[in-house]
Amino acid sequence: MKLYVAPYAPNPRRVMMFLAEKGVTDIDVVTLNLQEGEHRTDAFKQKSPLSQIPTLELDDGRALTESRAICTYIEALHPEPNLMGRDAFERAFIEMWDRRMELLFSMPLMMWVRHGNPVLAAVERNQNAEVASYNQGQAMRMAKWLDGELANRAWIAGDRFTIADITACCGVDFAKMNRWRPGDDLPNLKRWRAAFAERAAGQVAA
């Protein structure tokens, strides 16, 4: 199998973190240059029609895009260590938190950076300061709420590490481009990020 990624992009990093936590090392990683448009070539669009990365190409030529879908496939192939739930309720509970982290926290952080950081103007061609400001506000409100949630548990979806932690961390780390990270005003979120750094997933370069 081949996994197509790009430097600094948070969604490919989400899959790379998932693989690291699983200890999966037998997937070839192919790096694309987004600034040069390598993800928009006709050849790549045969694998990913919307030019999305990450893209996982199977040995038989089939392909998967969307980081959550790729992680679900990897979880089925490598069920341990479990990152998505062991029974019906736990799977749903972890997915609930993963969706919260993706849609309400990481996505606003990413949109803040994509629309507010001039370095990304070549990739985000229609940068909009109002979009950046709105998403910054949403992300900061969610960060404060999440800090309160983490006052009573070690990890986002409970007492053990799951994909929800990976999803949240991708957004948090991407926001470093806008010089934001959890500080002393968010002590539980700061503690969580420090604990994340000690894990295999935390060793994947941003």
pLDDT digits (tens, 9 = 90+) for 123-151: 777 899 999 999 999 999 999 999 999 99
pLDDT tens figures, 14-73: 999 999 999 999 999 999 998 888 999 999 999 999 999 999 999 999 999 999 999 999
Q: What is the CATH architecture assignment of 2-77?
A: 3-Layer(aba) Sandwich (3.40)
Alpha helix ranges (H) inside 52-204: 67-77, 88-99, 107-116, 129-149, 163-174, 187-197
Domain with CATH 1.20.1050.10 in the chain: 88-199
SS3 64: strand
How far apart are the C-alpha atoms of 79 and 46, rounded to whole Å? 30
State how far Cα 126 lies from the chain centre: 23
Domain 88-199 fold: Glutathione S-transferase Yfyf (Class Pi); Chain A, domain 2 (1.20.1050)
Closest C-alpha to 110, from 3, 4, 5, 12:
12
Residue 8 has a pLDDT of 85
